Structure 1
Amino acid sequence: MSGLYFPTRSFQIYQTFAANTNLGKTLFSAGLLRVAATDKKASRLFYLKPVQTGYPVDSDARFVDKFVNSKILNTKTLYCYEKPVSPHIATDKPPNDKDVLSRVKSFISECQIQSGSNGEGKLILETAGGVNSPLMSGTAQCDFYRPLRLPTILIGDSKLGGISTTISSFEALRLRGYDIPAILLFHDSEYNNFQYLREYFRNYDTRIHAISPPPPKNNTAETDHENLRDYFSSTAQDFQNILKQLNEWHHIRFDRLESMEKKTMKKIWWPFTQHQRVKNVTIIDSAHSDFLTTFNKNNDNEDVGQAQMKEMFDACASWWTQGLGHGSAKLSLAASYAAGRYGHVIFPECTHEPALDLAEKLLEGVGKDWATRVFYSDNGSTAVEVALKMALKTNLERNNIRDENSIKQTGKEFLVFGIEGSYHGDTIGAMDACGPNVYNDKVKWYKPRGYWFEAPTVHIKNGMYSIDIPKSIHPDNTKMTYFFPSLDSIFNQDQLTTSDLVKIYEEHIRRILSSFIGSSEYQFGALILEPILMGAGGMKLVDPLFQRVLIDEVRRNKIPVIFDEVFTGFWRLGYRSGADLLGKKPDIATYAKLITGGLIPLAVTLTTESIFENFIGSEKTDALLHGHSYTAHPTGCFVAKTSLDEYERLNKNSLHWNLAKSQWADHEKSSTASSYKEPIVWSFWDKKIVHRISHLPNVKGVVTLGYASNASQSIVNELYSSFTSNNFGIYARPLGNVVYLMTSHVTLPDNIRAVEEKLVECIKSSK
């Protein structure tokens, strides 16, 4: 039944929301289904009322059944409560949202199956109360139903004050990404809201329909029943017109989706993609939480009624940007507020609250105890360019080289130190700060400007934690492997200060540095590295001890240290920053990706006051002449501040985070009690599953973000095409022979377990 809870070309689904209570949702639902039942082509009709209060006196499903009166109609109510009140106070034992949504999906799936081989059918899902009315758990309905993102019919308010509530409800739904093909309301000649709303929504992809109001209630149920039958007969043409417009909208939508693949192949130039190899385009219709809703055209051998939408777990976190999930209403509201307050405003010699508040938040967080200044830009690569400019000039100042031209006159090359396999972005300067790799190999302007240390890496293989030492480092010129009892023992700074590896690393690094420092050919201006984990370079977990020793030795030579935290910042590694886990502070650090929770582009470069002062002078050319038209965009800054606040809240209060930490911790048992020590390193991925994968023969090694396999593309293809036990596919992208899977900061444990289960299955079946 995977994906059968989304509309298809042949199976239409609409949900009704209302601007307030008692506006006629049920009457409009009955009217639409009534005229649909008269269509000779009609196959099956369905009505779903997930939550009903005031039952059994009130039953919207019973009302619809009575007045549609058709054998092809099936009605269903999932949760009934006797009190005629808001669902959140109708019961003291509220079901959780997951179970409610699961029952909704199951019913829709059953309806699609019942619609037969041709898949023809229509379903109306009627919500309870208004757009923001809560369900039993307290979750607002507009948020609860968002994973389905069903086309929405908004029932407007024709009474006094109804213009405001209708527009507000429309905006609340649009804020969450709903399509609203129609707004329906009753004619009211006194207030004439319809006329105003028709003009207001003229430029939206939304049609306004008004029909006559129903007759007032009489003294007897029999009379009321007859009056309503007459009413439905007299308004049948109005409902027919509404249904015709909805049908047209539905088919235009699917025409558009079906045309996107061919148009995209002709008009789009993708990044990091060899177009000749692309066989199918993943069409993303929407995204919510950890999931992409993708559109898939039917294969020739499939039934017409086969689902055309598929839920995919976003296992690459949309290029590692997702912290709070797709479509976060909290972040959308923050963006709307800032956009409405500012739009965009020029930033040089100006300030605004979002930029200043975010700067203070960053300096109190990832920059605490070392940074004093924040420089804004728009993406990680650019933030690195800014960092390089800061570091290179600082290096000249520290070495009393006041005239930059003097470096050129000596013929020296201005270089950087780094780690082999690093990646810092795709702008020219950022590329030059990396060694030769697949990203810069064909770029004619690329010139490697540095020396890159081969680094020891951490692996989990056959349940053993190890550090592989390249032979270039070991004094015997032999590749060596050191084993440790746990990841914590590798990251524990106190234990490792006495390790034999300290001396090995120091001697190796000093030998390399001595061959360059003071050279007549080279001037090294910076050390740039990704703390702990190298992302695009292949998800390499670098021995933290090696990076600590490297930083200390480089600093002895007055060389500034840059941390590229575009990937590792903001709790990606379980800490506020990679620097916190590494236990070393940089002179300059760059942040992007997670900074806005994945909603909008923004990047920052943090640095110290002493580096800032190197750019203070009497001439404009003394300044850091770098910037963008959209520098410190108020929307991005406000969203970023909101995201960082949410990360802090999760770190303090999230049950999921605490459970993950607990299963990676060492629990020491005594005769009286068990003690718990929070782990240094932890992951959302299950420790037992990680060990299990590490024992598979076609896996070279595992870290808690991914693993290396010689069959990565085939595994990715299998993850994409199959379904997990939770009825979703998995969207992933390989990095060479590495498959990485990534969660957001709010991924639910059940979904992680389902991904793990499918991953093990795919690796086992891979050749």
Structure 2
Amino acid sequence: MAPVGAGLWRTLRAHQVYGANTDVGKTIVSTVLCNAVQRQEQRAAFLKPVSTGSLDDADDRHLKRYGVGTLTKCLYQFDEPVSPHIAARQKTIPRDDDLLASIHKTLSDWARTDIDFALVETAGGVHSPGPNGNSQADLYRPLRLPIVLVADSRLGGISSSISAYESLLLRGYDVQSVLLFRDNYYQNHEYLGDFFRNKSIPLVPLPAPPARPSQTDASALAKDEEAMSAYYQRVSRESDIMRLLEEMNARNTERIERLEEMASRAQDLIWYPFTQHHGMRPKDITVIDSAHDDFFQTFGSSRSEKPDSELRPTFDGSASWWTQGLGHGNPELSLSAAYAAGRYGHVMFAGAVHEPALALADNLLKTLDNPRFAKVFYTDNGSTGMEVALKMGLRVSCDRYGWDAAKEQISILGLKGSYHGDTIGVMDCSEPSTYNKKVEWYRGRGHWFDFPLVKMVDGQWKVEVPADLKAELGSDVEFDSLGSVFDLQTRLSSETSLRYKDYIRKTIKDLVHRHGMKFGALILEPVILGAGGMLFCDPLFQRCLTDVVRDHPELFSPNPPSPKDASSWSGLPVVFDEVFTGLYRLGRPTSASFLGVHPDIAVNAKLLTGGLIPLCTTVASQEIFDTFSSPEKSDALLHGHSYTAHAVGCTVAVDSLKAMSDMDSNGSWEKFKTDWSQKDMAPANASVPDVWSVWSQSLLQDLSRAESVESVFAIGTVLSISLRDAQGGGYTSTAAKGLQQQLAIGSDQFNVHSRVLGNVLYLMSSVTSKPESLPELENLLRSSLV
């Protein structure tokens, strides 16, 4: 199903009419505005997406009768005079996506004609349900048309009008004008006029329409029609209405002008991360007007010279740098954030506590399901969370082994290509690379193992061993399925496992005894090393590395003390950086579960808040916590941030974890799992783990056979495509640029914003992506590569 774009046209001023309540006069206001437009010698159109009740009382019929010259259309008509979700029960119900697509197409068609002004009128109040039972405020959000809000002039109307406005605001709508009827008794228009004036939103009070006749005979109805015609002729001439229309026209023009200049202004004012600005031009900058679900709405990226809309759906291919989990503009998370902001704002955390931080700590420990974990430390982002993890790990190692870090260098063990952030401490935990080797303070303190990679090549899953390690680790191994690669229960007893462990043990022994190195922690990105180039490490290698470190503490100290108990760390504290791969990114609550390992310290961020707000947690064992406990203040973990345990972030994270956990248990991903169980898993092998992806197996098969593709893999929401490069690939490779540019051009329906890591182009969806929404994107990939 192709995505629906937001609506913005140069030739058509399109607005959506919402009511603060039912029966507030939306259709009368629409008729007034359309008649006023016609008086300006312009053409107006009125669209009613869903109408219920008798045809004689239908809103589009009212516009046809009184809106002189106005073009009218109704998309779906239901006979019962009830809420659309009830009326639709006995009919064929249009899918929400189909309804939105019909609205967008209708408006686009009108934009190509002589129509200058269009209104799309909702039914009932802001949260009245649509045909499928979803709130209209959420249903119509992808279109993000500017709003004409019809306020309520009756008793209680001040409250309902402000509530309606705030509901729209929370969902990212722009309320551009407010109209309501004057009532000399309640005088809501005076109070609301001041309220909206302070928001720079014009409010226009209208004379109340003629009272409805109590009689229904032909004579009474004729008099009513005559009175209404006279009312519309009079009110549509009022100067306030004419000024309002001029302002609505100006705002449409100003919005387009702002979008047109954003890229050039950004180039003048902004220093972008991970960007070489030399040679950069405004056209290289993506202008994002809004975002919804998996898509940005971008300006100026259409293939057509006469676009349907100035805005185009653009798939957020990097999941906004790996943060998106529950979709852009998620209304539930927005409400959570608003609640916490209203309740707390931000409050001091050191030596204090608030409910969101306590609830998140409790829920996170249950989600991670690691018997070693006991304490949660809050930071702002993944890099600083890893700084805390590094401080924890090095301190406990020095304490146990009696090392003095002020007099001798304490290093870390890790994997080649790993990267844990841009702050100076964790930068030293990575080997020299494009990211860090030109940073003046970088030293690079550690040893990083090269490792076998998991990939699909020409339709076949394989574990590929680096050429210079084949003598120690053996030859490449092919597998029937990705699940078989993760079948560590079987693979741990294999010859490969013995080779891995022997190589790792000998390497560490040589580093410590011959080269005199001291190691304070083992730091791993489980399963996938993200920034290093989407490197899919053989899970058996990571498991063997962890086992060797824990099973052989004598490698690190000649007389290591015995661990206190089974949950005590041994050899080195094991730190898992799950900032990228944790919390359902790979289809499970933790990526550690793929390895069958309980780390001593783990760091989570990105998906922690569903992609809404920065927050990070570093979780550790009680034993590690106790190492910092002493009578001396200087022995404490002296690390913190002004916004530590930000109440808004913690509240959103609690709801985000619950939403993802619910999806895990309620079958939301069953279609994806079924695709992989039918085509990937070996049914006769009961020990094969549950490994799946939102990206179809058929897509991987097709792409892996493409001439320009070296290898592919997919797991959870992640898809990685390695392009052939005669120069060998790496971060500075340009091999993936061509594919990136093809996706940026896209199809007639949408395009793709993606990031590349050298010769690797990766794509990620949200965990909320639906099976019917990804095939169009997969087809675009096929057409670009196969």
TM range (shorter): over 0.9
In the other structure, the counterpart of 1:664 is 676
Query: 2:387 is paired with a residue of what secondary structure?
Result: helix
Q: Which of 279, 293, 305 pairs up with 1:302?
A: 305
1:564 and 2:564 are equivalent in the alignment: no
Q: By how many angstroms is 1:609 displaced?
A: 0.3
Q: CA deviation at 1:271?
A: 0.3
Give the one of 118, 122, 137 matched to 1:123. 118
Q: How does 1:545-624 map to 2 (within 5 A)?
A: 545-555=540-550, 556-557=552-553, 558-624=571-637
Does the 8 Å CA contact 2:85/2:130 hold for their aligned counterparts?
yes
CA distance in 2: counterparts of 1:621 and 1:67, whole angstroms: 79
Q: Paired residue for 2:460?
A: 464
Does 2:231 correspond to 1:231? Answer: yes
CA contact (8 A) 1:532 1:543 kept: yes
Cα gap change, 1:272/1:668 in structure 2, threshold over 3 Å: closer, same or farther? closer
Alignment of 1:537-552 (within 5 A): 537-552=532-547
1:700 and 2:710 matched: yes
Query: Structure 1 residue aligned with 2:363, among 361, 374, 386?
Result: 361
Structure 2 CA distance for partners of 1:754 and 1:677, relative to 1, 3 Å: farther
The within-5 A match list for 1:61-460 is 61-70=60-69, 73-92=70-89, 93=91, 94-115=93-114, 121-218=116-213, 219=215, 220-235=220-235, 236-237=237-238, 238-279=240-281, 280=283, 281-296=285-300, 302-303=305-306, 307-401=309-403, 404=404, 407-409=405-407, 412-460=408-456
Deviations for 1:453-491, whole angstroms, at most 9, x for unmatched residues? Answer: 00110010111111111134333688x311111111110
TM-score, normalization: structure 2?
0.91
- In 2, the alpha carbon distance for the partners of 1:96 and 1:359 equals 39
**Separation in 2 of the partners of 1:204 and 1:286?**
21
1:387 CA drift (Å): 0.2
Deviation at 1:666, TM superposition (A): 4.5
Is 1:38 equivalent to 2:49 in the alignment?
Answer: no
Q: Distance in 1 between matches of 2:5 and 2:136?
A: 21
Q: Post-superposition shift, 1:675? A: 11
Determine helix, strand or coil for the equivalent of 1:153. Answer: strand
Q: After superposition, what is the alpha-carbon deviation per residue over 1:606-656, rounded to whole angstroms, capped at 9, x for unaligned?
A: 00000000000111100000000000001000000000000000001133x
Q: 2:723 aligns with which of 703, 706, 709?
A: 709
Change in CA separation of 1:399 and 1:762 when aligned onto 2, cut-off 3 Å: same
Unaligned runs of 5+ in 2: 554-570, 725-734
- The one-letter code of the counterpart of 1:296 is G
SS in 2 for 1:440: coil
Contact conserved, 1:290 with 1:744, CA < 8 A, in 2?
Answer: yes
Please give the alpha-carbon distance, in whole angstroms, between the structure 2 residues aligned to 1:179 and 1:269: 29
CA distance, structure 1, for counterparts of residue 677 and residue 150 of structure 2? 52
State the 1:441 CA deviation: 2.5
From the superposition, tell whether residues 168 and 503 of structure 1 become closer, same or farther in structure 2 (CA, over 3 Å). same
Query: Which residue is equivalent to 1:729?
Result: 751
Mapped partners of 1:216, 1:531: distance in 2: 70
Q: Supply the distance in 2 between the matched residues of 1:469 and 1:398 (Cα, whole angstroms).
A: 36
Aligned to 2:557: none
The whole-number CA distance in structure 2 between the counterparts of 1:408 and 1:127 is 69
Equivalent residue of 1:372, what SS?
strand
Q: What CA distance in whole angstroms lies between the structure 2 residues aligned with 1:761 and 1:88? A: 39
Once superposed, what is the RMSD of the aligned Cα atoms? 2.2
Counterpart for residue 19 of structure 1? 20
**SS of match in other structure, 2:470:** coil
**Structure 1 residue 209 displacement after superposition:** 1.1
Alignment correspondent of 1:504: 499
Deviation at 1:225, TM superposition (A): 1.4
Overall identity of the aligned pairs, in %: 41
1:758 match: 780
Query: What's the offset of the Cα at 1:561?
Result: 0.8
Q: Secondary structure at the match of 2:14?
A: strand
1:386 partner SS: helix
> What letter matches 1:752 in structure 2?
L
Question: What is the one-letter code of the residue matched to 2:168?
Answer: L
The superposition leaves residues 583-613 of structure 1 with CA deviations (integer Å, 9 ceiling, x where unpaired) of 1111101000000000000000000000000
Q: In the aligned structure 1, how far is the partner of 2:322 from the partner of 2:36?
A: 48
Q: Distance in 2 between matches of 1:102 and 1:678?
A: 42
CA 1:753–1:199 in 2, change beyond 3 Å: closer, same or farther? same
Give the distance between the partners of 1:298 and 1:109, measured in 2 at CA: 14
Residues 519 and 187 of structure 1: CA distance in aligned 2, closer, same or farther (over 3 Å) = farther
CA contact (8 A) 1:378 1:601 kept: yes
Counterparts of 1:698 and 1:674, CA distance in 2 = 35
What residue ranges of structure 1 are gaps of 5+ in the alignment? none
CA distance in 2, matches of 1:79, 1:232: 27
Mapped contact 1:471–1:477 kept (Cα < 8 A): no
Partner AA of 1:455 in structure 2? F
Q: Which moved more, 1:499-508 or 1:213-222?
A: 213-222
Confirm or deny: 8 A CA contact 1:569 1:577 kept in the other structure: yes
Structure-2 separation of matches of 1:57 and 1:34: 21
Change (3 A) 1:203 1:676: farther
SS of the residue corresponding to residue 730 of structure 1 reads strand
The residue identity in structure 2 corresponding to 1:600 is: I
Q: Note the alpha carbon deviations across 1:684-713, whole angstroms, 9 max, x for none.
A: 001011111101111000011211014311
Tell me by how many angstroms 1:251 deviates. Answer: 1.8
User: Does the alignment pair 1:748 with 2:770?
Assistant: yes
Q: Secondary structure at the match of 2:443?
A: coil
Q: Secondary structure at 1:475's aligned position in 2?
A: helix
What is the letter of the counterpart of residue 39 of structure 1? Answer: Q
Structure 1 residues 641 and 620, CA gap change in structure 2 (3 angstroms): same
The secondary structure found in structure 1 opposite 2:153 is coil
Paired amino acid for 1:712: A
- Counting matched residue pairs gives 742
1:505-528 residue CA offsets vs partner (Å, 9 max, x unmatched): 111101110012356742210111
Q: Do the aligned residues in 1 keep the contact of 2:482 with 2:680 (CA within 8 Å)?
A: no
1:397 to 1:719, Cα distance in 2 relative to 1, 3 A: same
8 Å CA contact 1:258–1:297 kept in 2: the answer is: no
SS in 2 for 1:708: strand
For 2:66 and 2:292, how far apart are their aligned partners in 1?
A: 36
In structure 1, the residue matched to 2:566 is none
* Contact 2:47-2:120 within 8 A present in 1 as well: yes
Per-residue deviation at 1:3?
7.3
Q: Which moved more, 1:516-525 or 1:640-649?
A: 516-525
The offset of 1:535, in angstroms, is: 0.8
Q: Is the 8 A contact 2:398 2:520 kept in 1?
A: yes
Does the 8 Å contact 1:17/1:130 carry over to 2?
A: yes
Q: CA separation in 2, counterparts of 1:180 and 1:408?
A: 60
Name the aligned partner's letter for residue 722 of structure 2.
Answer: A
3-state SS of the aligned residue for 2:190?
helix
Q: What is the distance in 2 between the residues matched to 1:470 and 1:200? A: 67
Could you say if the C-alpha distance between residues 361 and 28 of structure 1 is closer, same or farther in structure 2, counting changes exceeding 3 Å?
same
